[in-house]
Protein backbone atom coordinates (compact mmCIF):
# COMPACT_ATOMS: atom_id res chain seq x y z
CA UNK A 1 0.00 0.00 0.00
CA UNK A 2 1.04 3.57 -0.47
CA UNK A 3 3.19 5.24 2.17
CA UNK A 4 1.51 8.62 1.78
CA UNK A 5 -0.56 9.73 4.74
CA UNK A 6 -2.98 12.50 5.55
CA UNK A 7 -2.73 14.05 8.97
CA UNK A 8 -6.03 14.43 10.77
CA UNK A 9 -6.48 16.07 14.15
CA UNK A 10 -9.08 14.47 16.37
CA UNK A 11 -10.40 16.23 19.43
CA UNK A 12 -10.39 13.82 22.39
CA UNK A 13 -11.62 15.51 25.55
CA UNK A 14 -9.27 18.41 26.22
CA UNK A 15 -6.39 17.36 23.99
CA UNK A 16 -5.84 16.96 20.26
CA UNK A 17 -4.48 13.73 18.85
CA UNK A 18 -2.83 13.53 15.44
CA UNK A 19 -3.89 10.45 13.48
CA UNK A 20 -2.15 9.42 10.26
CA UNK A 21 -4.55 8.07 7.63
CA UNK A 22 -2.86 6.20 4.78
CA UNK A 23 -3.91 6.97 1.21
CA UNK A 24 -5.25 3.92 -0.62
CA UNK A 25 -5.13 3.64 -4.39
CA UNK A 26 -7.65 1.77 -6.52
CA UNK A 27 -4.94 -0.85 -7.15
CA UNK A 28 -4.41 -1.25 -3.39
CA UNK A 29 -8.17 -1.59 -2.85
CA UNK A 30 -8.60 -4.23 -5.57
CA UNK A 31 -5.61 -6.15 -4.21
CA UNK A 32 -7.08 -6.06 -0.69
CA UNK A 33 -10.49 -7.20 -1.91
CA UNK A 34 -8.98 -10.05 -3.93
CA UNK A 35 -6.79 -11.21 -1.03
CA UNK A 36 -9.89 -11.36 1.17
CA UNK A 37 -11.57 -13.81 -1.19
CA UNK A 38 -13.37 -11.55 -3.64
CA UNK A 39 -13.10 -12.48 -7.33
CA UNK A 40 -11.33 -10.32 -9.93
CA UNK A 41 -14.52 -9.14 -11.62
CA UNK A 42 -16.30 -8.53 -8.32
CA UNK A 43 -13.37 -6.51 -6.95
CA UNK A 44 -13.11 -4.45 -10.15
CA UNK A 45 -16.87 -3.84 -10.06
CA UNK A 46 -16.49 -2.19 -6.65
CA UNK A 47 -14.46 0.58 -8.28
CA UNK A 48 -16.76 1.28 -11.22
CA UNK A 49 -19.09 4.13 -10.34
CA UNK A 50 -18.67 3.43 -6.65
CA UNK A 51 -18.69 6.40 -4.27
CA UNK A 52 -16.77 6.45 -1.00
CA UNK A 53 -19.83 5.67 1.14
CA UNK A 54 -20.59 2.62 -1.03
CA UNK A 55 -16.98 1.44 -0.77
CA UNK A 56 -17.17 1.78 3.02
CA UNK A 57 -20.43 -0.21 3.06
CA UNK A 58 -18.80 -2.98 0.99
CA UNK A 59 -15.69 -2.97 3.20
CA UNK A 60 -17.82 -3.20 6.37
CA UNK A 61 -19.75 -6.13 4.91
CA UNK A 62 -16.47 -7.81 3.90
CA UNK A 63 -15.03 -7.19 7.38
CA UNK A 64 -18.06 -8.83 8.98
CA UNK A 65 -17.72 -11.84 6.72
CA UNK A 66 -13.99 -12.18 7.46
CA UNK A 67 -14.60 -11.85 11.21
CA UNK A 68 -17.30 -14.52 11.08
CA UNK A 69 -14.81 -16.84 9.37
CA UNK A 70 -12.24 -16.12 12.06
CA UNK A 71 -14.77 -16.98 14.79
CA UNK A 72 -15.62 -20.26 13.04
CA UNK A 73 -11.92 -21.18 12.83
CA UNK A 74 -11.46 -20.20 16.49
CA UNK A 75 -14.27 -22.57 17.52
CA UNK A 76 -12.56 -25.44 15.68
CA UNK A 77 -9.20 -24.52 17.24
CA UNK A 78 -10.79 -24.53 20.71
CA UNK A 79 -12.13 -28.05 20.12
CA UNK A 80 -8.71 -29.27 18.94
CA UNK A 81 -7.10 -27.72 22.03
CA UNK A 82 -9.65 -29.49 24.24
CA UNK A 83 -8.90 -32.83 22.55
CA UNK A 84 -5.15 -32.31 23.04
CA UNK A 85 -5.65 -31.40 26.70
CA UNK A 86 -7.93 -34.39 27.29
CA UNK A 87 -5.49 -36.79 25.60
CA UNK A 88 -2.59 -35.45 27.66
CA UNK A 89 -4.57 -35.81 30.89
CA UNK A 90 -5.69 -39.43 30.59
CA UNK A 91 -8.58 -39.10 28.20
CA UNK A 92 -8.97 -41.11 25.01
CA UNK A 93 -9.32 -39.90 21.48
Q: How many CB atoms lie within 10 A of CB 36?
A: 14
pLDDT band at 2 (very low <50, low <70, confident <90, very high): very low
Do residues 93 and 84 lie in contact, with contact meaning Cβ atoms separated by under 8 Å? no
Share of the chain above pLDDT 90, in %: 30
Q: Who wins on pLDDT, 13 or 88? A: 88
Average pLDDT, the chain: 82
Is residue 86 predicted with pLDDT exceeding 90?
yes
Rg for the chain, CA atoms, rounded: 21
Q: Say if residue 4's pLDDT is above 70.
A: no
Per residue in 6-32, pLDDT (tens digit) is: 555 555 665 666 667 678 888 888 888
The dihedral over CA atoms of 76, 79, 80, 84, expressed in degrees to the nearest 10, equals: 170
Question: What pLDDT sits at residue 82?
Answer: 95
Amino acid sequence: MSTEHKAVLIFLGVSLTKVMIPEITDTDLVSLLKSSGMGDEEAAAVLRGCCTSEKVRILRKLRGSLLEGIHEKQAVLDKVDNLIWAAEHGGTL
